[in-house]
A and B are shown apart, each in its own frame.
Chain A
Amino acid sequence: ETGVTQTPRHLVMGMTNKKSLKCEQHLGHNAMYWYKQSAKKPLELMFVYSLEERVENNSVPSRFSPECPNSSHLFLHLHTLQPEDSALYLCASSQVRPTGSNEQFFGPGTRLTVL
């Protein structure tokens, strides 16, 4: 596997379910991110982990819970979601350096539908 992978690619869940999204990066990067993209809306940054520590939590509801057990893996735990949470959830990784680029590499995303 190369790049950034996400599983599952599609997920349908009820509002009372608990599920988790998984992201894995094979690039040796030290930062990982979760984004949400709703229909016809810009990408919304949700969480940032740098060196396995959460450094950004962009006012995301507590029904979304991230976990970063190591620099290669990132999870997004979901519980009691609402239909408006239906969206494409994208994971990305980057190598944070003192200067220069912070090019992000994105996974293919998980298409989430909440019924």
Chain B
Amino acid sequence: LAKTTQPISMDSYEGQEVNITCSHNNIATNDYITWYQQFPSQGPRFIIQGYKTKVTNEVASLFIPADRKSSTLSLPRVSLSDTAVYYCLVGDETGANNLFFGTGTRLTVIP
């Protein structure tokens, strides 16, 4: 089971770019990296997923180095509504590995 490690919390001012890094040293060849966002008293929401290099969608970018032992979620120009907990998960389709959420990173956006 690939374990992930993230910072417990981060603060950022509105309008800044936020980068949250996740370590996953034991990532397996078939594993994908998935990030979720969770607001209080709500279920997590999928943000982005990648396997290698860079993935970008309308919400965020995901940077994955060649060794895939870490990944960085990049949120451009954050707003107050981006205050949430962000989870990094690692796993493949055939097992339940990518169903285990860690403690996540609590991002607080400051006016």
A-side residues, CB < 8 A to B, are 4, 33, 35, 42-43, 45, 48, 55-56, 88, 90-92, 96-109, 111
Known: A106-B43, A108-B43. A42 touches B102 (CB 8 A): yes
Known: A90-B43, A107-B43. A101 touches B96 (CB 8 A): no
| B77 part of interface (Cβ distance < 8 Å) | no
Complex CA–CA separation, A108 to B36 (angstroms) = 15
Count of inter-chain pairs, beta carbons less than 8 A: 61
- Label chain B's interface by main secondary structure: loop
Complex CA–CA separation, A108 to B93 (angstroms) = 24
User: Is A96 a contact partner of B49 (Cβ separation < 8 A)?
Assistant: no
Can you add 20 more A-B contacts, CB < 8 Å, to A92-B43, A111-B41? A4-B43, A33-B99, A35-B101, A42-B101, A42-B103, A42-B104, A43-B44, A45-B96, A45-B99, A56-B96, A99-B30, A100-B93, A102-B91, A102-B99, A103-B34, A104-B46, A106-B44, A107-B43, A108-B42, A109-B42
